Chain A
Amino acid sequence: MIGGRSRAGWLSVLVALASSALLLFLVGPVLALVGVGGGAGAPQLLHDAELRRVLGLTALTATGATLLGVLGGTPLAWLLARRAFRGRALLSALLDLPLVLPHPVAGIALLLVLGRESVVGGALLAVGLRVVGSPLGIIVAMLFVSAPLYVSGAREAFAKVDPRLEGVARTLGDTPMRAFQRVTFPLAFRGLLASAVVMWARAVSEFGAVVVLAYNPKVASVLSYDRLTTGGLADALPVAAVLAVLALLPLTALRTLRRDEGRA
């Protein structure tokens, strides 16, 4: 018995040590970044017009990508959660593909399809829509790499809603669309919102695909890289610190949503 307790004690110590080491590794660099660069970052935000413009563009393009992702991804997620059809597994695998592709490779694939020399890119240019080197290109790159996260999360949110609840709503007079509006959507809403936040946060932090499709106009990740390569660590630190602090906002929102979801 005493031997068992002693083994359990050692196990607890080992678990605590391993957990602390990983936590320190994950949080340490971010804390160092905010600690070292944060002092300069806040005042720089006030007088660095480029930084403010870039942050605005980043938020705007990430929001645009998220809206498009929600618009197309919600029906797709519902379909994957609720309907059994031939090829569903294949479709799910295809949707996950952008997540496992190296992001510069994703950018190259997009360039191939939407570049000036491509059929689609050429057609878009003909109607005045330039993808490469434009905010539209940034949105496209962000959408490509982050939409699968939304679809996956939204699918899970729909799957959590008991389909029999929709059945009960149908027997109480609802059409399928009305049952969706009154039962499925309200119950899945927090999950959908959380998935949209994850998508937005992922879009904001995207670098690889964006830099291939649209180095300019710059988004925050590209600007921090640009300042690191041109001005060194001293120039990049304040920008990076501001970005790290801003990244905490959607993360905090996400945790709050998930906590409330757990209570409901």
Chain B
Amino acid sequence: MIALSGVAARVGAFMLRDVALTVPAGGYGVVIGPAGSGKTTLLEVIAGLLPVTAGRVTIAGQDVAGVPPEAREVALVYQHALLFPHLTVAENVAYGARDAAHAREVHARLGIDALTARPVASLSGGERQLVALARALARRPKVLLLDEPFSALDPRRRAEVRRIVRQCHREWGLTTLQVTHDFTEAGLLGDVAVLLDSGAVLQAGPPAELFRHPATASVAAFLGAENIYAGVVTERSTAVDGMPRELEFHTSGLVLHAIGDAVPGPAHAVIRAEEIVVARDAASGSARNRVRARVVELATLGALTRVVLDADGVPIIAALTTRSADELALAPGMEVTANWKAMAVHLC
């Protein structure tokens, strides 16, 4: 288990402030956040490479204050691999390996047998990341810290290596914490997600929870929510016999119906693009929210099409399957109906 409470650390003018997170033993945590938010610094603090100025870091239940990195049973993979340039690939992987058989197994699993005799300088960025991963896994640590370890791999190889790492993590009982910019990766890999910004944790929890119920509008924006509106929440009905409260959210020119326990007053409404259904028929669908809008823009991204709508000056972004968009024969200027359920409106 990795647990941090009230952790502060300083690197030059940058500070980590009051960081708290828990990755259970054998769990896979992901840290997401914009560039410069302190993600790498956080990993270095856990690895013992940076001292904490306040708070507590525990690894496997042990307070590691004063425990040097070599005694923490952690391995760290940097985004830029940081292979030892004076050693060959095989020597890099064997550097911290506890036994040669395990190092060979890691070579085989990651498919880097063909690279072993090569000097590090001759490797591509992706190959370097694979070797850095192998070097860390060959150590067989209890805690694996990964700083965007797949960023230089092509998409096909990335998916494969992601699967291999997840497999090693599970089979060897590792506790893993990975930094990523990729929301999909966070959703695919993580049991726990931590959103970091300006050195502070904005929100932590299961990835699905973060995506569906962002704590603030800025968290929603960072997590890629397409429709975020500022407005005022009013209560339409109180909760009766286990039925949720009905709420209204008033934003400029639009009234959204929502349910939940949001407090009346100024707030933000978040609707993910995939929750919005587009229809040509004005009366189509049974969703609580229904507005007429004009198609402004269409952008096809493989299987998905992003549709930008205008509802009396309020922009609405919907994500449809490209097949649906084709069937609807959507085109800029066309009048359509956008529908979404009350429970798709998240108020924060």
Q: Which residues of chain A have a CB within 8 Å of any CB of chain B?
A: 162, 164-165, 167-175, 182-183, 186-187, 264
Contacts and interface: CB of A to CB of B under 8 A. Distances in A.
Nearest to B135: A172
B47 A172 contact: no
Given A171-B47, A173-B139, A164 B82 contact: yes
Interface string B90-115: 00000110000000000000000000
A183 B120 CA distance: 14
Given A183-B84, A186-B86, A168 B78 contact: yes
From A162, A167, A172, residue with most partner B Cβ within 10 Å: A172
A173 B121 CA distance: 24
Contact of A174 (B47, B70, B121): B70
A173 B75 CA distance: 9
A170 B84 contact: no
B69 interface: yes
Nearest to B78: A164
Q: What are the nearest 10 A-B pairs in CB distance?
A: A172-B96, A170-B69, A167-B49, A171-B76, A173-B96, A186-B86, A171-B69, A173-B70, A171-B47, A172-B95
A168 B86 contact: no
A191 to B, nearest CB: 13
Given A172-B135, A186-B86, A187-B85, 6 more contacts: A167-B47, A172-B75, A172-B95, A172-B139, A187-B84, A264-B86
Contact of B82 (A165, A170, A182, A186): A165
A36 B86 CA distance: 46
B68 interface: yes
A246 to B, nearest CB: 32
B9 to A, nearest CB: 14
Question: Chain A contact residues: over half helix, strand or loop, or mixed?
Answer: helix
16 contacts: A167-B44, A167-B47, A169-B95, A170-B49, A170-B68, A170-B69, A170-B70, A171-B70, A171-B72, A171-B74, A171-B96, A172-B136, A173-B70, A173-B139, A174-B96, A264-B85
A183 B83 CA distance: 11
B96 to A, nearest CB: 3
A167 B76 contact: yes
Given A165-B84, A187-B85, A171 B75 contact: yes
A90 to B, nearest CB: 22
Contacts of A182: 95
A249 B78 CA distance: 43
Contacts of A183: 84
Nearest to B44: A167
Interface string B257-301: 000000000000000000000000000000000000000000000
B76 A168 contact: yes
A162 B82 contact: yes
Nearest to A175: B70
Contacts of A170: 47-49, 68-70
A51 B191 CA distance: 79
A250 B55 CA distance: 55
A140 B70 CA distance: 42
Contacts of B95: 169, 172, 182
A170 B82 CA distance: 13
Given A172-B96, A172-B139, A167 B69 contact: yes
Contacts of A165: 82, 84
A10 B47 CA distance: 59
B166 to A, nearest CB: 21
Interface in B285-338: none
A255 B84 CA distance: 25
From A168, A175, A186, residue with most partner B Cβ within 10 Å: A168
B107 to A, nearest CB: 16
A123 B96 CA distance: 51
A158 to B, nearest CB: 15
Contacts of A174: 70, 96
B47 to A, nearest CB: 5
Contacts of B78: 164, 168
Nearest to A163: B49
From B72, B74, B84, B136, residue with most partner A Cβ within 10 Å: B84
A186 B82 CA distance: 15
A121 B114 CA distance: 65
Contacts of B68: 170, 175
Contacts of A164: 78, 82
